[in-house]
């Protein structure tokens, strides 16, 4: 759910933070106070489009931030979006910069906005299959999961078959190229880490003069000075070692040191022999490194990657040279896969067909409660007899509606009234309240064109939904606001010649007064009594 909504520089909103709660959150207030701007801000943070005109006058940017808890697979998520006059977008999820599309994809699992001009999800027939499948429950969920896995393999096999090297000329061209690459790598006879060893040798070659000088001096100092000096010291200590144990211990240590230095001197002498490189050796190292570097530019960042690429070439050459047999095997695997997918798709079709009847019946009952008695929803399922598999099987699913007696069923997109569309969405959400995974639902002026019994029914539906979801609702009807768990009052005031929006969470008494004001326009003893009746009803 949304914990905090922070808005800066949006229309008349200067800097506004709203701490929201679970359940049914109702936003009311005077006309022009900024209620719609709050919904617009939610639309922007959900990845929606925006106009630069929404940026507050004399400001360079607008900023919206949400603090979300219990997001899918995440906790305590901070989402933000900053838009500037230059058109620049800066979107972040937990501090990580993302694209607008990435933000939109993420927020599509968090928030669902329904207003006079924003019913995108319900108008998108791609979501209709999600609604139906959610309603169908666990039986469909289990077999659909298996189908999804098979469908992924199906696409891979189809791609593997379709890419099979085109016509004979194309096949031969690719084969020639692969064999050339294979031959080039094979002839190089690469060894693991060979380049590292050659680089070390090259480093020694380039510094051979400096190394030789240092080794010669070190050898001279050890063999002609250090060893002779220690020999003299040993001979002198031998003369007195029998007189004192300490002298004897020092003599032993010195002898040990003498042997160590002798061994070290021998090692230095051998290093001197190894440091000589003739011109052929130098050229050989440089040429070998050049060859390896050339292969790296073509086939991989290091020798391990080049060898791995060589293995993939050999595999592809084999597949091309044995393509007829290979494709035959692929087609056999594809046929088996399609057989199982067809079986599952048919089972899904049966479950969906049965569930569609019940879902439509339940939605139509809700529509009747919402004073849309002549409106009827039908879940239309078209089964693809040609066996053209898609991600959800062989069914194309679309919600159709008729709003008046005697008319034909039409797609939801043909419904012009935003108020009707919002109530249709409310009916669907009420039926799917227990299975819908979107945690936050926003309804903007869903009460347009309704009153009386219909308004009370709308309020009841939203209250039911709010038991499983966080609901935010802007309303002008007292009967809807009365059912709110949390009521927020939006006001505007002029400070320093500027209009600013403010929001306040109402206490119990303030809520009664606001309901009274909405019901009659004035706060009187009668309107207060009526407000209490609405809240308690």
Residue 457 confidence (pLDDT): 86
Residue 419 confidence (pLDDT): 62
How far is the C-alpha of 401 from the C-alpha of 173, rounded, in Å?
57
Closest CA to 509 of 483, 528, 533: 528
Residue 114 confidence (pLDDT): 77
Q: 279-283: list long-range contacts, CB under 8 Å, 24+ apart.
A: 281/205, 282/205
At 445, is the secondary structure helix, strand, or coil? coil
Residue 285 confidence (pLDDT): 81
Delimit the domains of the chain by residue range: 1-110+438-505, 169-321, 508-537
How far is the C-alpha of 49 from the C-alpha of 28, rounded, in Å?
25
Instruction: List the chain pLDDT tens, one digit each, 537 residues.
Output: 899 999 999 988 989 999 999 999 999 988 778 888 898 899 999 988 888 888 998 899 999 999 998 655 556 799 999 999 888 889 999 999 999 999 999 998 898 887 655 555 677 778 889 889 988 988 898 899 999 999 999 999 988 887 765 567 777 888 899 999 999 999 989 888 888 888 887 777 777 667 777 777 787 777 777 777 888 788 888 888 888 888 888 888 888 888 888 888 777 777 766 666 666 777 888 888 888 889 988 998 889 999 999 999 998 888 888 777 777 888 899 999 999 999 999 999 999 999 999 999 999 998 888 888 888 999 999 999 998 999 999 999 999 998 888 888 988 877 756 667 777 888 888 888 777 778 898 888 777 767 778 888 888 888 888 998 999 998 888 989 999 999 999 988 887 777 788 899 999 999 999 999 988 888 888 889 989 988 885
How far is the C-alpha of 119 from the C-alpha of 43, rounded, in Å?
11
How far is the C-alpha of 111 from the C-alpha of 41, rounded, in Å?
12
How far is the C-alpha of 238 from the C-alpha of 87, rounded, in Å?
91
pTM value? 0.62
| H or E element, residue 395 | strand 395-402
How far is the C-alpha of 153 from the C-alpha of 391, rounded, in Å?
12
Residue 70 confidence (pLDDT): 67
Residue 145 confidence (pLDDT): 92
How far is the C-alpha of 240 from the C-alpha of 263, rounded, in Å?
27
Residue 471 confidence (pLDDT): 93
What DSSP designation does 241 have?
G
How far is the C-alpha of 41 from the C-alpha of 444, rounded, in Å?
12
**345 burial class (0-12, 13-18, 19+ CB within 10 angstroms)?**
buried
Residues 6+ apart with CB under 8 A from 416: none
Superfamily of domain covering 1-110+438-505 = P-loop containing nucleotide triphosphate hydrolases (3.40.50.300)
How far is the C-alpha of 420 from the C-alpha of 512, rounded, in Å?
29
**Torsion over CA: 193, 199, 200, 202 (sign):** positive
| Whole-angstrom Cα Rg for the chain | 40
CA angle 524, 525, 530 (to 5 degrees): 95
Residue 237 confidence (pLDDT): 82
CA distances from 258 to 24, 115, 286 (A): 90, 94, 42
Decide: 342 and 387 in contact? Cβ < 8 Å. Answer: yes
Decide: 535 and 509 in contact? Cβ < 8 Å. Answer: no
Tokens in use for 426?
């409310």
At 16, is the secondary structure helix, strand, or coil? strand
The HSE-up count of residue 28 (CA atoms within 13 Å, CB side) is: 27
φ and ψ at residue 508, rounded to 5 degrees: -60, -45
């Amino acid at each position: 759910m949304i914990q905090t909504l922070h808005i800066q520089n949006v229309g008349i909103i200067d800097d506004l933070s709203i701490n929201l709660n679970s359940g049914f959150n109702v936003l009311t207030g005077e006309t022009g106070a900024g209620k719609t701007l709050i919904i617009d801000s939610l639309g922007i943070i959900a990845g929606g489009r925006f106009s630069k005109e929404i940026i507050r006058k004399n400001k360079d940017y607008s900023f919206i931030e949400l603090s979300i808890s219990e997001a899918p697979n995440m906790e305590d998520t901070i989402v933000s979006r900053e838009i500037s006059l230059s058109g620049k977008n800066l979107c972040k999820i937990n501090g990580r910069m993302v694209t607008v599309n990435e933000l939109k994809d993420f927020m599509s699992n968090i928030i669902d906005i329904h207003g006079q001009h924003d019913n995108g999800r319900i108008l998108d027939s791609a979501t209709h299959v999600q609604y139906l499948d959610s309603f169908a429950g666990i039986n469909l969920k289990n077999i659909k999961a298996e189908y999804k896995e098979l469908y992924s393999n199906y696409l891979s096999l189809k791609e593997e078959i379709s890419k099979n090297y085109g016509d004979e000329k194309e096949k031969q061209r690719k084969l020639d190229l692969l064999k050339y690459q294979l031959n080039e790598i094979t002839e190089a006879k690469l060894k693991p880490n060979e380049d590292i060893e050659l680089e070390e040798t090259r480093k020694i070659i380039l510094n051979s003069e400096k190394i030789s000088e240092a080794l010669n001096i070190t050898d001279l100092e050890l063999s002609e000075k250090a060893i002779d000096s220690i020999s003299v010291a040993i001979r002198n200590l031998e003369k007195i070692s029998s007189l004192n144990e300490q002298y004897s211990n020092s003599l032993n240590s010195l002898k040990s040191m003498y042997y160590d230095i002798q061994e070290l001197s021998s090692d230095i002498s051998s290093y001197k022999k190894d440091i000589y490189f003739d011109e052929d050796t130098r050229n050989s190292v440089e040429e070998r490194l050049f060859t390896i570097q050339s292969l790296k530019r073509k086939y991989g960042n290091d020798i391990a990657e080049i060898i791995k690429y060589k293995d993939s070439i050999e595999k592809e050459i084999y597949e091309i040279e044995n393509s007829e047999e290979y494709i035959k095997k692929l087609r056999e695997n594809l046929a088996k896969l399609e057989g199982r997918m067809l079986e599952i798709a048919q089972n899904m079709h049966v479950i969906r067909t049965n569930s569609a009847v019940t879902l439509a019946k339940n939605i139509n009952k809700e529509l009747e409660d919402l004073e849309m008695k002549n409106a009827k929803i039908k879940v239309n399922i078209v089964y693809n007899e040609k066996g053209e598999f898609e991600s959800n099987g062989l069914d194309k699913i679309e919600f159709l509606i008729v709003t008046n007696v005697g008319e034909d069923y039409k797609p939801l997109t043909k419904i012009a009234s935003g108020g009707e569309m919002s109530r249709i969405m409310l009916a669907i959400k009420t039926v799917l309240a227990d299975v819908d995974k979107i945690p936050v639902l926003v309804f903007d002026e869903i009460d347009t064109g309704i009153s009386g019994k219909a308004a009370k029914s709308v309020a009841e539906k939203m209250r039911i939904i709010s038991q499983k979801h966080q609901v935010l609702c802007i309303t002008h009807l007292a009967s809807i606001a009365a059912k709110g768990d949390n009521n927020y009052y939006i006001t505007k005031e002029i400070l320093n010649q500027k209009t600013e929006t403010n929001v306040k969470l109402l206490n119990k008494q303030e809520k009664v007064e606001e309901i009274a004001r909405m019901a009659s326009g004035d706060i009187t003893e009668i309107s207060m009594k009526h407000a209490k009746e609405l809240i308690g009803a």
